[in-house]
Structure 1
């Protein structure tokens, strides 16, 4: 992976001067887009923390979280701070979204890599690092929809990717490393999973509860957690481990058997079934979608 040193001119070079400019190689976001249909769907919890864990398996990104984030002290706070502007970037209008603010949150996230990862400098606005974070969200939409909603056609996957290019450009970050087509994205994704990602300590910490159990969340009485944990922990471990690509399970040391894989696939098939989708599609909007998606659809 290339690195971006922390010089102002290098940071500026990573930015796109016209993040909202129209591009012929992408598709728009909006109520007719598949990204809108799936990204804010509340069934997304079924994939577990797949995007967050995969993000932190890129050494540069994992190091940035390790050095600068409150992730280790208050994981919930980090999630609450990070996700709203990303959702609003997707569900905002072309002229009113926080994409460049999301980018600018990362201006000072820089430092030196640990020796086991080659040393050298890292910066969150390195286009290759920044795009990997986005790629995990694109994969999130693709994996969730194809696993828990319906088997996507090739054309639907291509449409999601072309819409995601508009999404990425809203951040105002250089798109020079963004694959041109969905075919290119598939090759990029496979290479990252097969050759690049590592078991960074940040990622390992993020899935530690799979084998150790989830710690009592802040604000939950200890006595209540003792009653909840025996049910919550196995479910969380099942969704987290089942939702990870096989090689990443191995890198992170997540236990998984063929029997568990069969159970996971049956579980996913149940959610994809026609009766379940029929019921889900007839539930109120406030049940089916998170608040950011609801606001986007209401505005549109």
Structure 2
């Protein structure tokens, strides 16, 4: 994989995770579903990562099973304590995910550049979700989220060599990855195929029930998925999106960011607002 340019590192500026952190505030928020599968799609657009999923994952046979297996330990890494979290377990799940690219080059999921890209999509997920569907983040809040994410990444015990030192550097890293590195890998293309073909019937859902649900679910899934991707990703994946759809998406996002919606949301029970991993983290803290 193309090496990323490194810069001189200042004194470590990572910020702690915990109930005071913005990563905790936003990562486990149940409104996160509004961004669609943005991080998963972007992860699989890195050729090495997409190939690892293609070669080793049950993603193509049972997408829901892969999500259920992958996300809980990541949430518990974030909402765990500095002394008690499964970050090393998440890392070790990837030990045997290695092989060859179509051109013969070797890949490994624990290659620092590959592993950091997967993490970066989750960091950007927090930034994008909060800024789009909760409130417009200030520059200081974005910087805080990124510096907290450095603590999050280090919990995995993977080399932080490719990790940008500051939020400014992370922005440049992110733009370069989208502009120059990511591709329409077949894993990513498959992952968004339902945008044009319709979502496959989930296992466990009767055919008659899916026949009733699909006509409403499929357009919504396509809207959230396509609208929730960066324009460059939509372009590479050849996903249909018009200016009219973009205006609808921005109005939809603005509604969620509005003061009345936030006022109501903030007064709902925590069991409605946060997933179970976040709830346990806050309760413990």
TM-score normalised according to structure 1 size:
0.92
Say which of 239, 248, 269 aligns to 1:263: 248
Q: How does 1:167-178 map to 2 (within 5 A)?
A: 167-178=152-163
- Moved runs in structure 1, 4+ residues, more than 4 A? none
In the alignment, does 2:74 pair up with 1:86?
yes
Deviations 1:44-84 (A, max 9, x none): 00000000000000000000000000000000000000000
- Write the deviation string for residues 101-136 of structure 1: whole angstroms up to 9, x where unpaired: 100100000000013xxx310000000000000000
Partner Cα separation in structure 1 for residue 190 and residue 280 of structure 2: 34
Alignment gaps of 5+ in structure 1: 4-22
Count of matched residue pairs: 278
Runs (5+) with no aligned partner, structure 2: 4-10
CA distance in 2, matches of 1:24, 1:233: 46
Report the equivalent of 1:14: none
* Cα distance per residue 1:20-46 (max 9 Å; x no partner): xxx842000000000000000000000
Task: Give me the TM-score of the superposition, normalised by structure 2.
Answer: 0.97
* Structure 1 residue 134 corresponds to structure 2 residue 119: yes
Provide the rounded CA distance (Å) in 2 between the counterparts of 1:242 and 1:96: 37
Residue 235 in structure 1 maps to residue 220 in structure 2: yes
Give the whole-Å Cα distance in 2 for the aligned partners of 1:288 and 1:75: 25
C-alpha distance in 2 between matches for 1:154 and 1:114: 41
Matching residue of 1:225: 210
Could you tell me which residue of structure 2 aligns to residue 19 of structure 1?
none
Match status 1:147 vs 2:121: no
User: Which secondary structure state, in structure 2, belongs to the residue aligned with residue 29 of structure 1?
Assistant: coil
1:179 to 164, 167, 171: 164
Structure 2 residue 198 is matched with structure 1 residue 213: yes
Other-structure match for 1:104: 92
Alignment correspondent of 1:68: 56
**CA apart distance, 1:137:** 0.1
Whole-Å separation in 2 of the counterparts to 1:177 and 1:52? 20
Query: Is residue 121 of structure 1 aligned with residue 109 of structure 2?
Result: no
Structure 1 equivalent of residue 6 of structure 2 = none
Partners of 1:66 and 1:261 lie apart in 2 by 31
User: What is the DSSP-based 3-state SS (H/G/I as helix, E as strand, rest coil) of the residue aligned with 1:67?
Assistant: helix
Q: 1:283 is paired with a residue of what secondary structure?
A: coil
Residue 2 of structure 1, CA deviation = 4.8
The aligned residue for residue 249 of structure 1 is 234
Separation (CA, whole Å) in 2 of partners of 1:114 and 1:227: 41
SS of 2:16 mapped into structure 1: coil
